[in-house]
Amino acid sequence: MKNAIERAQILLEAFPYIKSFHGKVVVIKYGGSAMRSQEAQNAFIEDVVLLKYTGMKPIVVHGGGPEINHMMKKLRIEPVFKNGLRVTDEKTLEVVEMVLAGKINKNIVAAVNQKGGKAVGLSGKDDNLILAERETVHGDIGYVGRIVKINPELLFSLLNAGYIPIVAPVAFGLNGETFNVNADTAAAEIAVALNAEKLILLTDVDGVMKDGKLISVLTMSEVKGLLNDGTVTGGMIPKLQCAVKAIENGVHGVHIINGSLPHVLLLEIFSDEGVGTMITGR
């Protein structure tokens, strides 16, 4: 058990961070892969509410890969991926929207509210938050969207009114389509549109790994190198691509951290201990 002085010391260590992030927008991508342990999930929700009460403006953008796969299996649809993106035919799209905007989004909203935060769940269709068009870079992968525009007004209104927005990465298209957009990319675009201080990507690995070792700090040119030399594959590709885009467009720091470690978010924000991989502009 810690004595009173030690406890006070811990709070004081957090003080400079609380001060410098006061009133700042922090966008947190909560990866589907990080949602597996109930303990880590509870800790994540507590951390988000705590960030809010210490004066930050957190926004959560969530993924849901494993849960979408699980539901697809139940419906006997085989998941297919190409370059870390889910190939999305009409049936898959239906499952994606149902699971992301229906199930996972509302579960997070309810959990945050239960801890005393005021959460509101949105998809990219609410007030035209995320406009996308068909992604064609990797050939035809169906209803996968490339984000064209973020309309941030609704997010600003919610943040200013003290709410914690929880965003499901489903976008609308100009011709009435629905698009499945990668949650990392959605988080990064939202971070840029809101001029966020930080973008934090919570996933199921400690960060970017090379030859079995964690890379703690990455510069922009190193990121580009890793993307080209094949070190990074699958779901890590969109993370690094969107990290580059976020930094190039004014977000101060991007962090990739392991969301399956309880309270990793607090460690990242309130301490000097470098957790995970930090991508910097220099």
Question: Which residues contribute to the site for Mg ion (CB under 5 A)?
Answer: 235
| DSSP assigned state of 205 | S
Among 77, 209, 220, 227, binds ligand ATP (CB under 6 A): 209
**Pick from 102, 181, 173, 36: which is nearest to 44 by CA?**
36
Closer residue to Mg ion (CB): 56 or 205: 205
CB of 99 to ligand ATP, least distance (A): 11
Binding mask 210-239 for ligand ATP (x = CB under 6 A): ---------------------xxxxxx---
**Which one from 126, 239, 253, 259 is the annotated catalytic residue?**
239
The one of Mg ion, ligand ATP, none whose footprint includes residue 93, by CB under 5 to 8 A per kind, is none
The one of Mg ion, ligand ATP, none whose footprint includes residue 126, by CB under 5 to 8 A per kind, is none
At 41, the amino acid letter reads Q
- Give dist(CA 93, CA 90) in Å, integer: 5
Point out the residue whose Cβ comes nearest to Mg ion. Answer: 235
Long-range pairs, 10-13, Cβ under 8 A, ≥24: 13/270, 13/271
Active site residue 65: yes
CB of 125 to Mg ion, least distance (A): 21
Dihedral in degrees, nearest 10, Cα atoms 257, 262, 267, 268: 20
| Interface with ligand ATP, residue 64, by CB under 6 A | yes
CB of 134 to Mg ion, least distance (A): 19
**Which one from 47, 126, 184, 204 is the annotated catalytic residue?**
184
**52 φ, ψ to 5°?**
-60, -45
- Helices assigned H by DSSP within the chain: 4-20, 38-53, 65-74, 90-97, 105-114, 153-160, 183-193, 220-228, 236-248, 264-270
Burial classification of residue 54, based on how many CB atoms lie within 10 Å of its CB (0-12 exposed, 13-18 middle, 19 or more buried): middle
Active site residue 184: yes
- Give dist(CA 65, CA 47) in Å, integer: 22
Among 25, 26, 31, 186, binds ligand ATP (CB under 6 A): 31
| Interface with ligand ATP, residue 34, by CB under 6 A | yes
The one of Mg ion, ligand ATP, none whose footprint includes residue 234, by CB under 5 to 8 A per kind, is ligand ATP
Binding mask 171-190 for ligand ATP (x = CB under 6 A): ------------xx------
The two beta strands, 217-219 and 277-280, are parallel
Active site residue 32: yes
- Answer whether 197's CB lies under 8 Å from 251's CB: yes
**Which one from 31, 63, 64, 65 is the annotated catalytic residue?**
65
**How many chain residues interact with ligand ATP (CB under 6 A)?**
20
Instruction: Using CB under 6 A, list all residues that contact ligand ATP.
Output: 31-34, 63-65, 183-184, 203-205, 208-209, 231-236
Q: Residues with catalytic annotation?
A: 29, 32, 65, 184, 239
